[in-house]
Structure 1
Amino acid sequence: MLLNPVVLSVIVLVALSLARVNVIIALLIATIVGGLTAGLSLEETITTLVGGLGGQGETALSYILLGILAVMIARSGITGFLIQRILPFMHGRRGVVLFLLAGLASLSQNVIPIHIAFIPILIPPLLAIFNKMKVDRRAIATALTFGLKAPYILVPVGFGLIFQGIIADEMRANGMEIALSQIPLAMAIPVAGMVIGLAIAILFTYRKPREYQDIPTEFTSDVAATTEEANDQWQMKHFVTLLGLAVTLVLQIVYGSLVLAALGGILTIFIFRAETWKNGEMVVEDGVKMMGAIAFVMLVASGYASVLTETGAVNELVESTSSWLGDSYLVAAIVMMFVGLLVTIGIGTSFGTIPVLAAIFVPLCASIGFSPLATAALIGTSGAIGDAGSPASDSTLGPTSGLNADGQHHHIWDTCVPTFIHYNIPLLICGVIAALVL
């Protein structure tokens, strides 16, 4: 098992990332390690990598467009205008603000299914305020990641309906019946672990004040200007900007496409002259500067996942665990959690991991004697467990995109490590507990 290409490549990816090697370079090196140890030649590995880049093409393009939209919103001045009015309610309420951020992020998965779209729009303008409050950005990252993960694991609406539908469909496809309505019950204990992790992060781990420099950006300078000198007059460009946001939201809900939604918002702001066409090149450059690196990480991560899956290394890893589990419920549950952790950290998506795990875990759970509820808890939790903490997951890349707008937030040490500790460890423990009691 330790010589499995997935295990070796994930170890390399994690080690390089923790050593502060750029995530893109770490992913490329991990891809080569995974391909070579799986028996591919260097040329075949690169070919498979390049061929898999398109798997996250839509996501990468949506990140770029959201970055452009975020810059346009900042240039309109509306963010500073609005933040000036909520500032009195934020001072001295650090914990309340962080829990509210977690709640707001939760709405993006179910009630208003826009996923990470709100982060590059909402968070960068707030950085100047967070700096004054001396909020540790690691606490903000854990709050945002909680909202990006917990709702779809527990609530069968929006992205949650997709995730839980995959679990139910894959379990039935592999010979174990379970109703979709039972999945939330199976996932309740694991999500309770995430709630505990969130509370510990906000109330204890990252409670101490942390100093950040006030580095001017197109976002923070706008906020600073509007907080120093009041401006009580709404302008036409403010209304147009709000219209652009409304168009973005409606298009996302109706068509389920972040690309179409963000493009609609951008065109609305241009057409109604809140931003002039002649500034388009500068706006696009700033948007790409903000989100381009993260978009490219998603592309490379997709190629990395293709190398791991198409070589059969993921299936080999899952199958190799079944031969020595025995009849112990506890050992089986723990091993399945670790296998899910390795696979999801490598692939970077819990949604894509479920079919891979279910094909082996369902027959295995049936032979050991796990109930359908316990099996659903194991599959759902082992599929979701590596999403937080993965360098290539949008649950970590999204928060980093907003918090690093001024270059003071490290993706690995300030987002991935905190979210791994506060969510993956509770998910592992509570996933095992759920498997044993359900």
Structure 2
Amino acid sequence: MNAVIVAVVVMLVLSLLRVNVVLALVAGAIVGGLTGGLSLVETIDSFTNGLGKGATIALSYALLGGFAVAISKTGIPQLLVSAMLRIVKKDGETDRAGLGKVLIVLLLLTMAIFSQNLIPIHIAFIPLLVPPILHVLNLLKIDRRLIASVLTFGLTAPYILLPYGYGFIFHEILAIQINAAGLSIDMADIPKAMALPVLGLLLGLLVAIFISYRKPREYIDRKTTVTEEIVVIKKRNIYFTIAALVGTLVVQIPSQSMIAGAVTGIGILYITGALKWKEADGLLNEGMRMMAFVGFVMISANGFAAVLQDTGHIVSLVEHSSAMLGDNKGVAALIMLFVGLIVTMGIGSSFATIPIIASIFVPLSMAFGFSTMAIITLVGTAAALGDAGSPASDSTLGPTAGLDVDGQHNHIWDTCVPTFMHYNIPLILFGWITVMLFG
């Protein structure tokens, strides 16, 4: 039995049974390591050694969470919620629910898209914007699975298609790793290769909006620390907050460091007096608590990935799959995409899985006679599958962190299952169609 399949199945089954995702990742890694021939001590050592690779990401998210909470204290989210309530309510009645729902969906979708390409703050905007508008979501009876689907689309589709911000990093890694695997490609070809797969994601989003989650869903309107506190809004603080956001971008973009960007933004808020120095410790702790779950899962996912790589069964999984392919390019492409799905669902990061996928898929695809564009599509689509639907992906963890602050949104059933259904399935289908068209 292949250790990769066993580990991923154990992790997914435990997650679906509502076992904490961190525990599910640890259990999956141990079972996978033992299945792959590692001893218990070797498995634990491998898992432990892999944890360090996720430390930078975890610290980045913790600081971004602190930055988001700091910004929330300036009153910007309160202004946003007030504006939404004015649109939704008239004479105390919610008679413009349809307009309010459209506004919220468009706002969150736009912010999610901008967070990848135009304003590369990734998921940091979610704890800033989502918790304060939960009251509005409850008022409009909006299904939070819809919001999770909207956010995940905005966090994935833009960087897969557009070579800007995080998209540039994704495309650059993709080009470098494919070239390193023995196939010379032009980075400018990646958007063309990924256009149809992203169209599949768009269709999945439209299905989620207009079919799957269009019906109202009731939630208890619980008070949270974000909604309870009334913030005194000062115009000067709004200006300083904008300066902090600009400063964050100015530092983060050239340095490619979310840590440096977050520290810069927090520093500007305190130096300008937009926030008081005596509040620093409490604010950072609050933000770190908000993003702690995301950080722990990302750290655990790196340990999980290290165990799978040390078993050597990722390579054997592809080799055994290729032995069953014969000469049928259509079946070969489909099986490679499913193998990519298994690998990336466990690791949860499209960026981290590209080196693994490219080193195996590129020579295999070249042996089957696939064109350059088809190979780019195969590798890019297989890697992207890890971000939509995986319990260990920041693109699913981020929405959950914002939507579950009142304890009414389950990470697996309300975020991962909906995003898997609406994005991973069409991504495989449209990715396969694209490979067949390119030949």
* Alignment partners' CA distance in 1, 2:241 and 2:397: 26
How far does residue 89 in structure 1 lie from its aligned partner after superposition? Answer: 4.0
Shift of 1:86: 4.0
Match of 1:358 in 2: 358
- Residues 362/206 of structure 1: CA separation in 2 closer, same or farther (3 Å cut): same
Tell me how far 1:131 sits from its aligned partner.
1.5
What code does the residue aligned with 1:128 have?
H
Give CA deviations for 1:38-66 in whole Å, capped at 9, x if unaligned: 11111111111111111111110111112
Give me the whole-angstrom Cα distance separating, in 2, the residues matched to 1:267 and 1:100. 28
Q: Are 1:405 and 2:411 counterparts?
A: no
Alignment deviations for residues 84-128 of structure 1 (CA, whole Å, 9 cap, x no partner): 124434642224531442232112111222221211212121212
Structure 2 residue aligned with 1:295:
295
**Which consecutive unaligned segments of at least 5 residues does structure 2 have?**
89-96
Amino acid at match of 2:429: I
1:174 equivalent in alignment to 2:181: yes
Partner of 1:184: 191
Q: Is the 8 A contact 2:111 2:125 kept in 1?
A: no
Q: Which moved more, 1:11-20 or 1:165-174?
A: 165-174
Aligned to 2:428, what secondary structure does the other structure show?
helix
The whole-number CA distance in structure 1 between the counterparts of 2:246 and 2:178 is 39
Which runs of structure 2 are paired with 1:118-133 in the superposition (5 Å)? Answer: 118-133=125-140
Q: Deviations over 1:306-360 (max 9, x none)?
A: 1111222222212221111111122111101110000001111112212212222
Pick from 3, 6, 17 the counterpart of residue 5 of structure 1.
Answer: 3
Aligned to 1:148: 155
User: 1:306 aligns to what?
Assistant: 306
Alpha-carbon distance in structure 1 between the residues aligned to 2:360 and 2:236: 58
| Paired AA for residue 215 in structure 1 | R
Report the counterpart of residue 19 of structure 1 in structure 2: 17
**8 Å contact kept, 2:165–2:253:** no
Give the Cα separation in 1 of the matches to 2:118 and 2:68.
Answer: 22
Alpha-carbon distance in 1 for matches of 2:432, 2:107: 30
- SS for the counterpart of 2:199 is helix
Partner of 2:44: 46
Q: What TM-score do you get using the length of structure 2 for normalisation? A: 0.93
Moved more, 334-343 or 209-218: 209-218
Distance 2:240 2:111 in 1: 23
Does 2:209 align with 1:199? no
Aligned pairs, number = 429
> How many Å separate the matches in 1 of 2:174 and 2:13?
31
Q: Which deviates more from structure 2 when the two are superposed, residues 197-206 or residues 400-409?
A: 400-409
1:273 aligns with 2:257: no
Distance in 2 (CA, whole Å) between partners of 1:271 and 1:234 is 16
Amino acid at match of 2:247: V
Letter in 2 for 1:11: V
Partner Cα distance (1:421, 1:319) in 2: 28
Deviations 1:337-395 (A, max 9, x none): 11000000111111221221222222222222211111111111111113211111111
CA, structure 1 residues 300+69, in 2 after alignment: closer, same or farther (shift >3 Å)?
same
User: Partners in 2 of 1:20 and 1:336 — Cα distance?
Assistant: 30
Instruction: Report if aligned partners of 1:95, 1:203 keep a CA contact under 8 Å in 2.
Output: no
For the Cα contact (< 8 Å) 1:66–1:120, is it kept in 2? no
Q: Following the alignment from structure 1 to structure 2, what is the Cα–Cα distance between the partners of residues 127 and 250?
A: 31
Whether the aligned pair in 2 keeps the contact of 1:95 and 1:202 (CA below 8 Å) is no
1:252 is matched with: 252
Q: Is the Cα–Cα contact under 8 Å of residues 321 and 335 in structure 1 kept in the other structure?
A: yes
| Distance across 2 between alignment mates of 1:421 and 1:82 | 31
- The structural deviation recorded for 1:303 is 1.0
111-120 or 205-214: which moved more? 111-120
Instruction: Structure 1: give runs of 5+ residues left out of the alignment.
Output: none
Asked whether 1:92 is paired with 2:98, we answer yes
Matches of 1:363 and 1:339, distance apart in 2: 15
What letter is aligned with 1:221?
E
Query: SS in structure 2 opposite 1:201?
Result: helix
Instruction: State the AA in 2 paired with 1:67.
Output: G
Mean CA deviation greater in 114-123 or 69-78: 69-78
Alignment of 1:156-171 (within 5 A): 156-171=163-178
Please state if 1:114 is matched with 2:112: no
% same residue: 51
Match of 1:434 in 2: 434
Shift of 1:80: 0.7
Does residue 1:73 correspond to 2:67, yes or no? no
**In structure 1, distance between residues paired with 2:279 and 2:168:** 41
Q: Say what the alpha-carbon RMSD is for the aligned residues.
A: 1.9
Contact 2:251 2:260 in 1 (8 A): yes
Shift of 1:235: 4.3
Counterpart in the other structure of 2:395: 395
Alignment correspondent of 2:264: 264
Distance 2:193 2:132 in 1: 39
| Structure-1-length-normalised TM-score | 0.93
Distance 1:95 1:422 in 2: 20
Select between 265-274 and 109-118 the one with higher mean Cα deviation. 265-274
